[in-house]
Structure 1
Amino acid sequence: MLMVSNTLKIQTMKKIKKDFDPRFWAGEKRSGLQLMENFFQFNELEASKEILSSIMNYALQRNNWISEDPAVIFRFHQSMRSLVRAGYLMMLKERKWTVDTRSEKISPWALGLLSENEYRNPLLVFKKAFREYSIKEYDYFMSGIVYFSMGVYENLPERNIVMPYIHTVKMLDAAHLILQRRREKKMAETN
């Protein structure tokens, strides 16, 4: 009797599948803009860049690990996966977010890592990023730096992680810029 009961429990447990997909991405279909808005509702631009930089720095250190709470790191990892997918969706739709800034001088602080062309049309950031790397490769990059930042390891990441890092930081800036311009456009339309 006990043997049959345990066998049924094991069979039942095998049938249960967990959904570990991030809530930002799972479920109903959403637009890239909605996913970006969700990201920035829970994450500030500067704080996101800071934690990404911190994770990257610790991933490259062999004898040190990040002191941040692992739950915070995991939530950030999931949020960044969502933002990368949002950028991919935005790139597919090819809607222009261009602003004519030729007449004004752009501050280097406003540019961040973006070039002047990327500042004028932030969609170029996503086009270039996904021309060089796939979504899977960005997932691999994020998972890798999180993994290596969470403990002391003998080996360092085997791939070049600097370029995906630069693209990811630029995606943060571009996504924030797109949402900022969208808010400005809405305010201009209401006034």
Structure 2
Amino acid sequence: MKKNKISFKTNYWEEYSAENPFRAIDAFFDFEHLDYYKQSLTEAVIYSYKSKIYQQDNPSSVFVLYSVVSSFIKACYGLQQKSKKWKVNESERCETIYHLSSLTKEEFDNPFIVFQKAFEENTLEDFELFLCLIIELSLSPFAGDPYCDLTTPYIHVIKMLDAVGLITERGVEKIKKKDRIDCVAE
């Protein structure tokens, strides 16, 4: 039985359509830097509680942010599914710990844990709803209290951003069959 592939929809904001999550992540970081995404998402969340409109001079940039982060979350979902076959290379430097402070020591050692936790707690559709709600509220001229929790998905997305940044920095390698069998036996 063939698995249904998820479309990362990178063709909305990138020249090509990425076929696997690792290529989607590469396109994600080719488009902008990690700090830009974290800052923009944080600002959008803050503006969702204000009566001011986020990016009032250029609201189309908010739609682009939505498209890119939506593709990113789909790629993270794909990475979560690949976590049994891939591992992150060991860290030779510890300076990244301070830069990626949202991750615990365990998550820093194995960033795939971040995706597993995020998608155990929320579905792909929950994250899509979160993004839609953030964009809607941040572009609304009315201050309001969102009718659902924005904090938990926001924290998960920030952690996923840090985890992907770490994966990109350290690189990944495929787990050999023997290593996978040993892990299952333990």
TM-score scaled by length of structure 1: 0.75
> Is it true that 1:172 corresponds to 2:161 in the alignment?
yes
Structure 2's unaligned 5+ residue stretches are 1-8, 174-186
Which of 64, 67, 78 is equivalent to 1:89? Answer: 78
DSSP-derived class of the 1:35 partner: helix
Partner of 2:115: 126
Distance 1:86 1:107 in 2: 22
Partner of 2:103: 114
Partner of 2:53: 65
Q: Deviations over 1:112-166 (max 9, x none)?
A: 2010111111111100000000111101001100110012225321101001000
DSSP-derived class of the 2:87 partner: coil
User: Partner amino acid for 2:21?
Assistant: G
Distance 2:94 2:33 in 1: 26
Partner of 1:10: none
Which of 114, 136, 153 is equivalent to 1:147? Answer: 136
Bigger helix fraction: 1
- Preserved contact between residue 91 and residue 123 of structure 1 (Cα < 8 Å): yes
- Preserved contact between residue 24 and residue 82 of structure 1 (Cα < 8 Å): no
DSSP-derived class of the 1:96 partner: strand
Q: Which has the larger radius of gyration?
A: 1
The CA RMSD over aligned residues, in Å, is 2.6
Structure 1's unaligned 5+ residue stretches are 1-20, 186-191
Q: Deviations over 1:62-83 (max 9, x none)?
A: x222135111111111000111
Q: Which moved more, 1:67-76 or 1:39-48?
A: 67-76
Identity %: 26
Q: Which moved more, 1:146-155 or 1:161-170?
A: 146-155
Q: Does the C-alpha gap of structure 1 residues 172 and 117 become closer, same or farther in structure 2, counting only changes over 3 Å?
A: same
How far the C-alpha of 1:43 sits from its partner, in A, is 1.4
Q: Deviations over 1:37-60 (max 9, x none)?
A: 111100110111110010000002
- Preserved contact between residue 36 and residue 86 of structure 1 (Cα < 8 Å): yes
Which of 161, 164, 187 is equivalent to 2:150? Answer: 161
DSSP-derived class of the 1:160 partner: coil
